[in-house]
A and B are shown apart, each in its own frame.
Chain A
């Protein structure tokens, strides 16, 4: 892994092009009407290449909207957004990012290998190159013997691993994930978190990760971005960086708990700042 630069190493070297650079990004739905909803207001965030950033906050805080704006699946109504130094649209057209959702979203009529090869097919890779790549990706997610299985023959955790393999197949520098482990049981979830970290360490991929779970955000992230609803905005950004040697013991460490508390308090603060002070931070998992 000598060729893989750690986030700190990159930060120390010459200033690289940010993976994501958002400047006062706003997104309103139905602007100018009475049904106007301000999903995002004045969001500024710079993500370094190789960094793992989580977006956390209660339902309706705009974290998924922000992810979709970065992915160019939604267009911002104000502000500027650059992905890899280009417009979000250009980044999408160049397939500069891979995406994974809470639903694995595997195509039932395609076997595992052909699911992973889908983005490559659209890029126009030839069959031999696609096969080689999907084989490689299956090794990476530790499911090398499942190329010819159909999605329904896999467990939820395995399906999610295939979805991640698919997102990374075209070797994008950026991975956008929207609660990818939200539908998994706790044991599988922790296992998948460890897998994701090792994949990211091996590939050097930048990750933007939307989650409801505080421990998940703390365990995975270099930085946790805390957001609050109505209108959706960033209220604080917490440096975590538990280090490269995270393992199951990390989950027992006092530093881990200290960071969890810090994020939780930031969420409470964010919530008090919002209008729903009496209802508490709904939709946030403390486990």
Chain B
């Protein structure tokens, strides 16, 4: 790494950091100056103190939501990729699945979660995880299906000239070509999986998870705690997003080259 890239990286980190600090200070000063009531908007410092005080509660709720999100995310990625591969092989299936997947993803989360909640026993996390799976499935399916279709025609022709089997073409050309698409999908789906888990928790089910905790804190007038849960939700989402980016960086190094070109 030379000095120019070092400086650019430093700038990349510094700019949002400085911006964040400015926003927090402005928020703090504004609330104090206008004497805004805590149930409308608490100061960042109150939220911070509450968060430090109740860190165990935050951690417990974050782990529940994080687990719901990651289980749904992994399931959605696996199912989405496998179905996209099958659909690529059999065109009829692709014409069947695509509208169905689009239709399901157009139904509001509230509705599906309510239906799913009725299907599984009280205290189960399955409904929430399934909800995440459905949302992630759609994102992954659409992207991977496109990636599998858009294989380099020269590479496909070469494979045919080698008399390669369909299985070899899938394994050695289509799948590697779809990898950047898969990781783009994962980058989109990772934060969405957290929000979906979160919203699913909000609409009923067991009394844990960040979604439930925010709802109950707010309704029992524990506003700073509610905001601390919101902060925790942001953090979980960010961790998922960062993890997806690191994963992409490691898994598809040739994509790095394409991006920097």
Contact = CB atoms under 8 A, between A and B. Distances in A.
Contacts of B173: 107
B155 A95 contact: no
Interface in B219-234: none
B179 A109 contact: yes
Question: Which of B154, B158, B176, B252 has the most CB atoms of chain A within a 10 A radius of its CB?
Answer: B158
Interface in B149-191: 152, 154-155, 157-164, 168, 172-173, 176, 179
Contacts of A118: 158, 162, 172
Contacts of B152: 103, 105
Contact of A105 (B158, B163, B172): B158
A105 B161 contact: no
Interface of B is mostly: helix
A108 B256 CA distance: 11
A73 B157 contact: yes
B254 interface: yes
Given A73-B157, A101-B157, A119 B162 contact: yes
Contacts, number: 52
Contacts of A121: 172
A257 interface: no
Interface in B38-94: none
B176 A122 contact: no
B257 interface: yes
A92 interface: yes
Contacts of A150: 253-254
Interface in B111-156: 152, 154-155
Given A107-B173, A152-B254, A152-B257, A99 B168 contact: no
A92 B163 contact: yes
B163 A93 contact: yes
A71 interface: yes
A99 B161 contact: yes
Contacts of B161: 71, 73, 92, 97-99
A209 to B, nearest CB: 16
A73 B153 CA distance: 12
A152 B162 CA distance: 24
Contact of B164 (A71, A105, A122): A122
A174 to B, nearest CB: 11
B254 A108 contact: yes
Contacts of B252: 109
Interface string A114-154: 00001101110000000000000000000000000010100
Across the A-B interface, give the 4 residue pairs with the lowest CB-CB distance, nearest first.
A105-B154, A108-B254, A103-B154, A152-B257
Interface of B: 152, 154-155, 157-164, 168, 172-173, 176, 179, 252-254, 257
Interface of A: 71, 73, 92-95, 97-99, 101, 103, 105, 107-109, 118-119, 121-123, 150, 152
Given A97-B161, A107-B172, A122-B162, 15 more contacts: A71-B161, A73-B157, A73-B161, A92-B160, A92-B163, A99-B158, A101-B157, A101-B158, A103-B152, A103-B154, A107-B173, A108-B254, A119-B162, A122-B163, A150-B253
23 contacts: A92-B160, A92-B161, A95-B162, A95-B163, A97-B161, A99-B157, A99-B161, A101-B157, A105-B152, A105-B157, A105-B158, A107-B172, A107-B173, A107-B176, A108-B257, A109-B176, A109-B254, A122-B159, A122-B162, A122-B168, A122-B172, A150-B253, A152-B254
